[in-house]
Amino acid sequence: MRYLGEEREGDVVVITIEREDKLNAMNLEVMDEFVGVLEKLRSDSSKAVIITGSGRRAFSAGADIEYMSRIGPAEAERYALRGHEVLNRIEGLEKPVIAAVNGYALGGGCELALACDIRFASANAQLGQPEVTLGICPGWGGTQRLLRIVGPARAKDLIFSGRRIGAEEAASMGLVNRIFPQDGLLGEARAYAQAVAKNSSFAVGISKNLVNKGMDANIDTGLKMEIYSWALCFATKEREERMAAFLGKK
């Protein structure tokens, strides 16, 4: 049984978690599929990726609580490692990844969205890290990515309280980029992805890497990485063609 749907439209790939009856919770089988899909995306011709959940209720309600209720520390560590592998692959993919958050994005679902580059939310979206209400801490990168996006004070508030926040509050703290009516969410995400896909895939990919690496580097190191990456762009045929086309238009 497959849990991930893939749809391609031009240069854009839409990945849909298809466990609507379980609010698109991610069990080990879902994560195994993600690894395969992401490995394929590393080298295919697509230029942008959208991740969403099936149905109208949830992007993803997170990890599989039924499974977690039966395991001990060793199995929990393996589960966390698999979750980190998937989300690290998303973050490290050299093409932009947009989360279309269509409802609940809780726990691992919120962490999945955090690993994406851009987060668009439906007006009815609810996000949060409720792990402490279950006696655990976030385990798929929530304590680290959330603080880098919204700052330590807001991250601690959300993690310590376990509360859910709506799309408006999430946007006010920079957790989501834009809010759309639910019926238009995926269309808006597609339009954005297609606009990004028109740009140089090499330049977008190297820019993504610079921003990601720069969050953990001091300013001098970040600026040196930028100079090297800028110079590297001048070695590409695409840069020559795009600059020539721009001058031709003038």
Which two structure tokens, joined as six digits, stand for 235?
Answer: 């070695």
Residue 250 has pLDDT above 70, yes or no: no
20 is catalytic: no
Helix (H, G, I), strand (E, B) or coil at 34: helix
Picking from 206, 40, 177, 57, the residue whose alpha carbon sits closest to that of residue 113 is 177
10 Å CB burial of residue 209 (0-12, 13-18, 19+) is middle
Helix (H, G, I), strand (E, B) or coil at 22: helix
42 confidence band (pLDDT: 50, 70, 90) = very high
Q: Each residue of 1-12: b (16+ CB within 10 Å) or e?
A: eebbeeeeeebb
Residue 160 has pLDDT above 80, yes or no: yes
187 confidence band (pLDDT: 50, 70, 90) = very high
Q: DSSP letter for 46, please.
A: -
Provide the residue count of the chain: 250
Helix (H) or strand (E) holding 165: strand 164-166
Marked catalytic residue, from 9, 20, 94, 111: 111
Mean pLDDT of 218-226: 96
d(CA 130, CA 95): 30
Residue 21 has pLDDT above 70, yes or no: yes
- Taking only Cα atoms into account, the Rg of the chain, rounded to an integer number of angstroms, comes to 19
d(CA 130, CA 163): 6
pLDDT score of 249: 79
pLDDT tens digits along 79-136: 999 999 999 999 999 999 999 999 999 999 999 999 999 999 999 999 999 999 999 9
Percent of the chain topping pLDDT 70: 100
111 is catalytic: yes
**Contact predicate 242/201, CB 8 Å:** no
- Residue 7 — φ and ψ, nearest 5°? -135, 130
- CA 158, 159, 161, 163 dihedral sign is positive
Which domains occur in the chain, in start order? Answer: 4-197 (3.90.226.10), 201-249 (1.10.12.10)
Q: What is the mean pLDDT of the chain?
A: 96
Tell me how many degrees the CA angle 121-68-5 measures, rounded to the nearest 5. 45
Which two structure tokens, joined as six digits, stand for 153?
Answer: 């004070």
Helix (H) or strand (E) holding 5: strand 4-9
CB within 8 A of 168, min separation 6: which ones? 179
d(CA 196, CA 188): 12
Q: DSSP letter for 45, please.
A: S
Marked catalytic residue, from 9, 77, 94, 131: 131
pLDDT score of 1: 78
